[in-house]
Structure 1
Amino acid sequence: MFLLSCLFLLLCSLITVNASALTTPIAANERLCFFADVDKAGEKIGFYFAVQSGGSFDIDFEVKDPSDKVILDGSRERQGDYVLTANTVGEYSFCFENDMSTLTEKLVDFDIMVESEPRRDAPAKPGQISDQTSSLEESVFRLNGMLMNIKRTQKHFHTRENRGFSIVKSIQNRLFWYCVLESLGIITMAVLQVYVLQTFFTKTGRRYKV
């Protein structure tokens, strides 16, 4: 238990992650930006997004560094998973733009992660077993990598589920309005037929000689 506790504390000291997971609607012709601070050069930035619903499930995106230089962009992308190296300290911007759509609102799920992984320090106490600690650290990092893959897979299935639900809902709405219009057309034709037959047999003022 003591070894596991030490390993957990060591892992917490090795990895520092600042993340924000959000789901936001983006209206038609809207540009929406989010920002993340990087404290030192060399930190890793993880950027993931997926369009959950709306239109063709696509969006334009753009990532800029603190000097307003575009370091990553894309047009009509459905989803993306990127890892960037922050070479400049400051505020990075992550923007989504829904210019291609004039009426449809998009729902976007995204994560922004700023991660720092400093080097391991040498054991502070001579009694510590560095070989066992190193092997346990490698095992924990492998487990962490597998957990991250599971998380990405869950996000992928979550996105597919939301898109499937959005498509089914859109088809359901279209079928509903199609049935409503079809019913109105049938009722209108029936009323017109009754009116025509009624006026045909109730004509007055004319005489017919046989």
Structure 2
Amino acid sequence: MSNLCVLFFQFFFLAQFFAEASPLTFELNKGRKECLYTLTPDIDCTISYYFAVQQGESNDFDVNYEIFAPDDKNKPIIERSGERQGEWSFIGQHKGEYAICFYGGKAHDKIVDLDFKYNCERQDDIRNERRKARKAQRNLRDSKTDPLQDSVENSIDTIERQLHVLERNIQYYKSRNTRNHHTVCSTEHRIVMFSIYGILLIIGMSCAQIAILEFIFRESRKHNV
């Protein structure tokens, strides 16, 4: 029974981790501004965001975005225009609600992936907590008295950082692949429509030529008579 409880809690925290790490996908309607928020519980928290425009009509992937701090809701602390993808981290000097607002223009709707989160713990504290958790799970000795174990723990931390970079790169290439696929589909659709318009134009010109020739022959016969 205790093992089942442990497995349940591990599954719960794992599911919570992936839910927090997963980006949010939303539709940015034309002519409208969409804002999303995160609430920091303390000052000097590291606020990070990552977004990518996954889909846009007529190859229109550009958006404008602004980030507002809790102390001033009218003046943005970060403002960018004509961006397809963005990633940045900054220190939130104030406690409270931070907002990131997107505007995609008045021409087309867009689909945007967004990861907007905060972290109020220092990286050293996070790594120490992870080390303690790993040692508790595996009943390891204190790494201060074991240089080999300390080296292994440092290697694990390095792997975790590299995995984080890899995850960001995968998100970047996923976004670029999605945009390229949408561009190919849009180009293919335009080629098909252009071909249809060309065929209809040729048929229309042929019918017009036939009608003009019939009219000329008919008029010439009248004059001959």
TM-score with structure 1 setting the length: 0.78
**1:114 equivalent in alignment to 2:118:** yes
Q: Which has the higher contact order (CA 8 A, sep 6+)?
A: 1
Aligned ranges 1:5-20 → 2 under 5 Å: 18-19=20-21
Provide the secondary structure at the position in 2 that maps to 1:202.
helix
- Cα distance in 1 for residues equivalent to 2:21 and 2:92: 15
Residue 142 (structure 2) aligned to one of 117, 121, 129: 129
Partner of 1:71: 77
Distance 2:104 2:164 in 1: 29
Give the counterpart letter for 1:110 in structure 2. Answer: L
Kindly provide the CA deviation profile for residues 85-115 of structure 1, in whole angstroms up to 9, marking residues without a partner as x: 122111111111123xx22122211111222
In the alignment, which residue of structure 1 is the partner of 2:24? 22
Secondary structure, counterpart of 2:77 in structure 1: strand
Structure 1 position 139, deviation (Å): 2.8
Return the match for 2:90 from 74, 84, 90. Answer: 84
- Residue in structure 2 matched with residue 3 of structure 1 by the alignment: none
Segments of structure 1 that go 5 or more residues without pairing to the other structure are: 1-8
CA distance, structure 2, for counterparts of residue 158 and residue 27 of structure 1: 22
**Counterpart in 2 of 1:35?**
37
Query: Conserved in 1, the CA contact under 8 Å of 2:60 and 2:108?
Result: no
Q: Which runs of 5+ in 2 are unaligned?
A: 1-9, 133-139
Using the aligned pairs only, state the percent identity: 27
Query: Is the 1:19–1:114 Cα contact (8 Å) retained in structure 2?
Result: no
CA contact (8 A) 1:20 1:112 kept: no
Count of aligned pairs:
190
- Relative to its length, the structure with more helix (as a share) is 2
TM-score normalized with structure 2 length = 0.73
Is residue 28–residue 109 contact of structure 2 (8 Å, CA) maintained in 1? Answer: yes
- How far apart are residue 198 of structure 1 and its match? 2.1
Aligned CA RMSD, in angstroms, stands at 2.8
Mean alpha-carbon deviation: is it higher for 21-30 or for 63-72? Answer: 63-72
- Per-residue deviation, 1:182: 0.8
3-state secondary structure, aligned to 1:168:
helix
